[in-house]
Amino acid sequence: MAIDDELTKNTRFLKELEHNIRVTNNRVIHQKVEPITAERMLSFADAVANLRAEYVQEAFVFADMEQGDGSGAADIDKLDTCRRRFEVARDAFIALQRAIELGYVTVNVE
């Protein structure tokens, strides 16, 4: 019985902790972020899609260039910059989706 009591206590503790983390994140995020709407989310998704397209486009530019033409390092730097911009934006979008799933953010549904 003592083990079951401890498990119940631990489960209650984790649920309370999870609730408090959710409340804290919700409060802090909403102090810093304008209300989140479907329109804003789609705008964000559009920005990520554009960065993805730029990255893919630059990858093909790199793939299609003549090897040994002397511009390799600059082209690699440009490709790397496109990759980093896309990955940072994508990761931010994923983090926002996760925050919504966890209840850290309240969305305005119209």
End-to-end CA distance of the chain: 50
Which residues pair with residue 36 across a beta bridge?
107
29-75 pLDDT per residue, tens: 999 999 999 999 999 999 999 999 999 999 998 888 866 665 678 88
Question: Can you give the pLDDT at residue 86?
Answer: 99
Using alpha carbons only, give the angle 82, 100, 40 rounded to the nearest 5 degrees: 55
Which stretches does DSSP call E strand in 1-105?
A: 36-37
- Who's near 96: CB < 8 A, 6+ residues apart? 36, 41, 44, 105
The proportion of the chain whose per-residue pLDDT surpasses 90, expressed as a percent, equals 77
Q: How many CB atoms lie within 10 A of CB 92?
A: 13
